[in-house]
Structure 1
Amino acid sequence: MAPTRVILMSCGSYDPPTNMHLRMFEIARDHLHRMGTHVVVGGVISPVHDSYSRKELTSSKHRLAMLNLALENNNWIRLSSWECRQNGWTQTRRSLQHHQNILNSLLFEVNDVKNHFETDDLDWIPENVKNNSDSTPIEIKLLCGADLLETFAIPGVWAEEDIEAIVGQHGLVVITREGSTPNKFIYDSDVLSKHMSNIIIVTEWIPNEISSTRIRRALKRNESVKYLLQDSVIDYIYQHGIYGAKRMSSIKLDLSSNIENSVLHNDSKYEIAFLTPSPTDVIMETPSPVDNISIDMPDSKSTLGNCNESEQAREKFLSMISENGNTFLPNSNTAFSDLNQQVILTEPGDSQIFEEGTAKPACLL
């Protein structure tokens, strides 16, 4: 028997769309093709209407824009804006039925569907389906995570007739998550058990607990979400200030003070954040022999036991620069090449050399 052609459809908030939302499609398609029972001809994402009862739901204008960006380089998953264009929230069952009806009309050339529907209503259909004369039926199955399956058992969340229609008429492809037991939920539900043959359980062997809720929280706290979302989606979020996200405009370290006082300088519309450098921020060089040299600095007020040298002495110290491989010392015509030297400022008249391995003042690094 020939494999059944299917389109995987996922419904939800997508606030924001994560890499895991896209990953689910890949996992499901691999599993169905490996089993040899189905051929996945496409995928469709259908975000919910703004009136969906979730606190602080981002407007569909932004959610659709983010999804378009997330899918711009995807060659088989498409976006349907039909739910967002309705007058109110649409039940998942109705959304599945609507998309299945349009697909059937196209396949069987009913009512000249290409000329009687808006372009937005057909954009989600794969080009190879729209332009192919093959009229073999295509089933739309609901792709979901195990957490959605578990909500079927919560009283008042789903109407029993909706569950019956979703599972019985369309079918489920369920992606497991770590610690979930979807087979137990199926066994405990009379409706799900009745249509067990129409539920496909796909095990995700590479656990990934990316959560839109946690990503929104991270963005609100100005924490990085790179590699959790598509880069283009992250840029869009910062550009429009969604979830309270604010991008720092520039980074400037105050190198003349202690690292604890280093800050990220910002434009007036952005708040200040403090930077703690990681080991990867430090440039490591090949160790070389160190000669510790004490230099007479007549204008310096620094001593071996005191690191709070005067501003004039600091300027003299910082005036030693590296040029063409030579290190030049103030008030000296002598150049030292290929030496990594540590300079100690002393009182006028003092001159002292610290050999390697000998004690040095505690304040010196």
Structure 2
Amino acid sequence: MARICERFDDLGADGTPARLGIMGGTFDPIHIGHLATAEQAREAYGLDAVVFVPAGNPVFKKHRRVTPAVDRLALCRLAVASNPAFCVSALEIERGGDTYTVDTLRELRAHYPANVELFFITGADAVAHIVKWRESAAIADLAHLIAVTRPGYALTAERKREIEDEGSFDVSYLEVTALAISSSDLRARLREGRSIRYLTMQSVRDYILEHGLYGEADDAAERAEEVPATGADDAGDAPGRSPRAAAASGLAGAGKEALR
């Protein structure tokens, strides 16, 4: 069977009950909003692990150029390296074609034993349209849904009831720390030669500069803020979609058929 992610490929294999969080998105690029959201969901729901799943061919992103999957995958791996509860899976990228949440959840469900519960983490704004996702009823059967709130967006109690009634969805709502950060903002900053320091992991920033991603990322404005190394790493550390990629500007930019 194909590998999901090396760190947690055998989760639950010994029969011990386990909980796996799934966070998908375009992650173009990944930032601390995504990481903080995943960590807060892990803590709130007692998740044993969270797997980040970068989209291969994001259906809802065809209005703009998406950074090559190999780079987005590398950025995600760098971003999660310091958290022992996080890992990254290339399953959507390796699958090829358009990406839908239901396909990914089915693949994960087939891989892990029944004693591993799946928790799909996405933005509350994405959940508001969940009945329009491909095979939404199947999604509800495959995983618990964690709908994460983001700055400036909240579902009313009435809308929450409507969502549950429309598709018999069991949705949990999690309010996370408001980090008004989005992938689109990071891309704009990089194009304009502005700093992204502290908005993402230092290793992610270094990779972006080294590979010249997102426009003129390495011009004088970015270089001018360089300071001598102290030996300390930056502390570092937003998923749903209908084609699953709608998502990751960020949770603060959040929702996977809208956190990407």
TM-score, normalisation: structure 2? 0.72
Q: How many residues align?
A: 207
Unaligned runs of 5+ in 1: 33-38, 108-136, 249-263, 265-272, 278-365
Hey, what's the Cα distance between the residues in 2 that align with 1:46 and 1:192? 27
2:116 equivalent among 138, 142, 145: 138
Q: 1:73, CA displacement in angstroms?
A: 1.1
Q: Bigger radius of gyration, 1 or 2?
A: 1
Encode CA deviations 1:159-201: one digit per residue, 9 max, x unaligned. 3xx2212223312011112332334432233655622xx2111
1:147 equivalent among 118, 125, 129: 125
Aligned to 1:194: 168
Partner amino acid, structure 1, of 2:171:
I
Q: 1:49-88 maps to which residues of 2 (within 5 A)?
A: 49-50=56-57, 52-54=59-61, 55-88=64-97
1:97 equivalent among 103, 106, 110: 106
- Does the alignment pair 1:244 with 2:215? yes
Cα distance, 1:49–1:42 mapped onto 2, change above 3 Å: same
Aligned to 1:12: 25
Hey, what's the Cα distance between the residues in 2 that align with 1:241 and 1:52? 25
Partner amino acid, structure 1, of 2:36:
R
Hey, what's the Cα distance between the residues in 2 that align with 1:143 and 1:230? 21
Aligned partners of 2:42 and 2:50 also within 8 Å: no
Partner amino acid, structure 1, of 2:203:
S
Encode CA deviations 1:301-347: one digit per residue, 9 max, x unaligned. xxxxxxxxxxxxxxxxxxxxxxxxxxxxxxxxxxxxxxxxxxxxxxx
Aligned to 1:234: 205
- Does the alignment pair 1:207 with 2:178? yes
Partner amino acid, structure 1, of 2:199:
L
Q: Give the secondary-structure state (helix, strand or coil) at the position aligned to 2:173.
A: strand
Hey, what's the Cα distance between the residues in 2 that align with 1:45 and 1:190? 26
Aligned partners of 2:164 and 2:171 also within 8 Å: no
Q: 1:234, CA displacement in angstroms?
A: 0.6
Aligned partners of 1:237 and 1:245 also within 8 Å: no
Hey, what's the Cα distance between the residues in 1 that align with 2:92 and 2:106? 12
Unaligned runs of 5+ in 2: 1-15, 226-260
TM-score, normalisation: structure 1? 0.52
User: Percent identity of the aligned residues?
Assistant: 25
For the aligned residues, what is the CA RMSD? 2.6
Hey, what's the Cα distance between the residues in 2 that align with 1:5 and 1:210? 31
Hey, what's the Cα distance between the residues in 1 that align with 2:198 and 2:141? 37
Aligned to 2:34: 21
Q: 1:291-306 maps to which residues of 2 (within 5 A)?
A: none
Partner amino acid, structure 1, of 2:50:
G
Aligned to 2:4: none
Hey, what's the Cα distance between the residues in 1 that align with 2:217 and 2:150? 32
Encode CA deviations 1:136-159: one digit per residue, 9 max, x unaligned. x01111011222213436xxx523
Q: 1:45, CA displacement in angstroms?
A: 0.7
Q: 1:206-225 maps to which residues of 2 (within 5 A)?
A: 206-225=177-196
Cα distance, 1:89–1:203 mapped onto 2, change above 3 Å: same
Hey, what's the Cα distance between the residues in 2 that align with 1:181 and 1:247? 37
Encode CA deviations 1:198-251: one digit per residue, 9 max, x unaligned. 2111112x3112111111111111111111110111111111111103324xxx
Aligned to 1:293: none
Q: Give the secondary-structure state (helix, strand or coil) at the position aligned to 2:181.
A: coil
